[in-house]
């Protein structure tokens, strides 16, 4: 799969999952949103890593708890955003349409990139935008 196809896949999965679970606000009712988000991220990371790897190889999500689904929404949104940007990358970047790239790219987006850029930026944004709740 190329980056554009990965973008569409992540966006489609985001929309399906978002329609199935309660709004994220249901999971973040307490005032200390950034601490709750950090706790949920730590509690769900291992299971989400396994779920993402499984989806990347089988196109099927394993059974996930509502909290895991809510945290997966953040990763899918992030992955779709980054993949869409990568699909528009200028030269000298190249893109291949090899089926073997799908698993590698999904895992890179929702595991490596999320850990290094996605979640840290999300947490900083919440702290910056909502200083009274942190």
pLDDT tens for residues 34-83? Answer: 778 888 889 999 999 999 999 999 999 999 999 999 899 989 999 998 88
How much is the pLDDT for 104?
Answer: 82
Find out whether 60 and 54 touch, Cβ atoms under 8 Å.
Answer: yes
Nearest to 103 by CA among 63, 56, 51: 56
Collapsed DSSP state (helix, strand, coil) of residue 63: coil
CA 111, CA 16: separation in Å to the nearest integer? 20
pLDDT band at 106 (very low <50, low <70, confident <90, very high): confident
Global pTM reads 0.76
- Taking alpha carbons only, the member of 48, 60, 54, 49 closest to residue 16 is 60
| Every domain of the chain and the residues it spans | 3-133
């Amino acid at each position: 799969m190329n980056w554009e196809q990965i973008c569409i896949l992540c966006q489609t999965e985001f929309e399906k999952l978002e329609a199935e679970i309660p709004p994220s606000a249901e999971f973040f009712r307490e005032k200390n949103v950034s601490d709750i988000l950090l706790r949920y991220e730590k509690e769900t990371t291992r299971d989400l890593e396994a779920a993402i790897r499984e989806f990347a190889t089988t196109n099927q999500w394993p059974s996930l708890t509502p909290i895991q689904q809510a945290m997966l929404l953040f990763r899918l949104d992030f992955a779709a955003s980054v993949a869409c940007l990568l699909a528009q990358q200028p030269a000298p970047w190249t893109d291949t349409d090899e089926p073997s790239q799908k698993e590698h790219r999904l895992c890179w987006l929702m595991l490596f990139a999320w850990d290094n850029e996605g979640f840290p930026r999300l947490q900083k944004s919440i702290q910056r935008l909502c200083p009274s709740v942190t």
